[in-house]
Structure 1
Amino acid sequence: MKNITKFLMAFLCLGMIFASCNKDNIDYDELNRQQIEAARKEKARRDSLLRIQAPQLEQYAKTKWGSDAKYSDSTGIWYKVELAPSTETPYAYTGTIGYYGPAANAWSATFNFKGELMNGTVFDKNTDGVPKVYDDIRNAIKVYNTAWVQAFIPTIINIQGQDVRFEGLLPKGLQKGDKISFISPSYYTFDQTEYTAGSEKVTVPKNTPVVYTIDLKAVGAVK
């Protein structure tokens, strides 16, 4: 997995800083060692999960989607995409340079979606005929985790005149009228948490890969 340590360090640093911000006499060398060790352990955990799950994900994608199945080597995500035939101007995803480096800005989105277990059991979806509306996509990501970020954002976002490479699955990012189905390693979805809050009252066990389909109706700036 490319650059995984950098992303893990950024995430872990936040927790460490918030936990320590009210303490005096902080040993920053020790804090740095703790962060590095935590990132090492997290990478080892994810690598172990990926070795187990990668063959399952590949088999599912190739069986379900056949020759339409595509693979992202940098994320381990398999996906199938149906691009909109429209030629209208695509939404331009944006980003900023923050303390921990480049980051994609949030966006709003309206879509139909479905979440399934690998056996086809639906555990979550929007109400039939009523697309889900997120004025800020971060509210969806809090629930469904970072696989949704990768499904939406472009592979490259121009930030302050510089092309910055992200782990987005599609060159232009998900656009109005596009439909994407994807299955990812479990650490990009519910990871070590059992999910029970779906619309279908189906439990998703922890460390379980799931399949999402997003049919995008609109995308734009945060409202």
Structure 2
Amino acid sequence: MKNLFTTGTICLVAALTFASCAKDDNNDDLYEQYRQQELRIDSILNAQKAEIEAYVTTNLSEAEPDSIYYPFSYIDKRTKRGIWYLYEPGDNEEEDYKYTINSTATNYVFPTVKLTYTAKLLDGTPVESEEAGTFNFSVGFSAFNDAWFLSFFPYSIRYNAQDYVVGGLTENGLQAGDKITVVTPSVLAYGSVKKTGGEADIPADSPLVYEFEVLEIE
């Protein structure tokens, strides 16, 4: 199955692409910089694994683990992305919204969604929420991070008789009426950056719990 892009943090993917070029140019210092970055991400994923699993055991016993591995390029390691999720499909009998790729097969056609969502820390502290808000994934929104994209987009998208892996958590992507609860490690949320401006500050390197309910999608 062909990969449309490598999942993980979007900025990291771009950085790793640049790092690969740098390695070809024998820029050992820059290559080592990105190797160390991968080591740090691997360390965080492993450090947060037990904490996330303990939360799931106590609060989301029916949740299931994501099976995809983080896209490391410079360390000899395979580590799962560490997401757990509980998907509750709505009453729609078939896909109302088709996730597609544009004519160049390099970008998504981004959906516009009306939804209610909340985000909280593992200790239950609410940090973000929106009631029946309208969002478009092609327009900048400070709350968008990889956890959002992985929640909404399907595992793969069909284009020109080929399957392009995008790494979403569900087979068809979220549809109107669907609900999903996602427990994500910090590297797929806000990473090592402290997030301010919401209902409460999100400390750096904080796993988050998202609850999404899709009201409409187009």
TM-score range, shorter chain: 0.7 to 0.9
Whether the 8 Å CA contact 1:9–1:36 is kept in 2: the answer is no
Q: 1:136 to 1:47 in 2, by over 3 A?
A: closer
Whether the 8 Å CA contact 2:182–2:209 is kept in 1: the answer is yes
- Equivalent residues in 2 for 1:84-163 (5 A)? 84-96=90-102, 103-127=107-131, 131-140=132-141, 142-163=142-163
- Equivalent residues in 2 for 1:158-177 (5 A)? 158-177=158-177
Match of 1:182 in 2: 182
How well do the aligned residues superpose, as a CA RMSD in angstroms?
2.9
Partner of residue 49 from structure 1, selected from 44, 49, 53: 44
Match of 1:80 in 2: 86
Letter matched to residue 136 of structure 2:
D
Post-superposition offset of 1:69: 0.7
TM-score (norm 2): 0.79
Letter matched to residue 32 of structure 2:
E
Whether the 8 Å CA contact 1:113–1:126 is kept in 2: the answer is yes
TM-score (norm 1): 0.77
Whether the 8 Å CA contact 1:9–1:35 is kept in 2: the answer is no
Rg larger for: 1
**Paired residue total:** 199
Match of 1:29 in 2: 25
The 1-side partners of 2:144 and 2:111 are apart by 16
Letter matched to residue 123 of structure 2:
N
The 2-side partners of 1:79 and 1:117 are apart by 15
Identity of aligned residues (%): 25
Post-superposition offset of 1:181: 0.7
The 2-side partners of 1:59 and 1:206 are apart by 20
Whether the 8 Å CA contact 1:12–1:35 is kept in 2: the answer is no
Identify, as 1 or 2, the structure richer in helix: 1
What CA deviation, in whole Å up to 9, does each residue of 1:9-50 have, x standing for no partner? 74116778xxxxxxxxx997146x566434322211110001
The 2-side partners of 1:61 and 1:7 are apart by 26
The 1-side partners of 2:191 and 2:8 are apart by 18
The 2-side partners of 1:36 and 1:164 are apart by 28
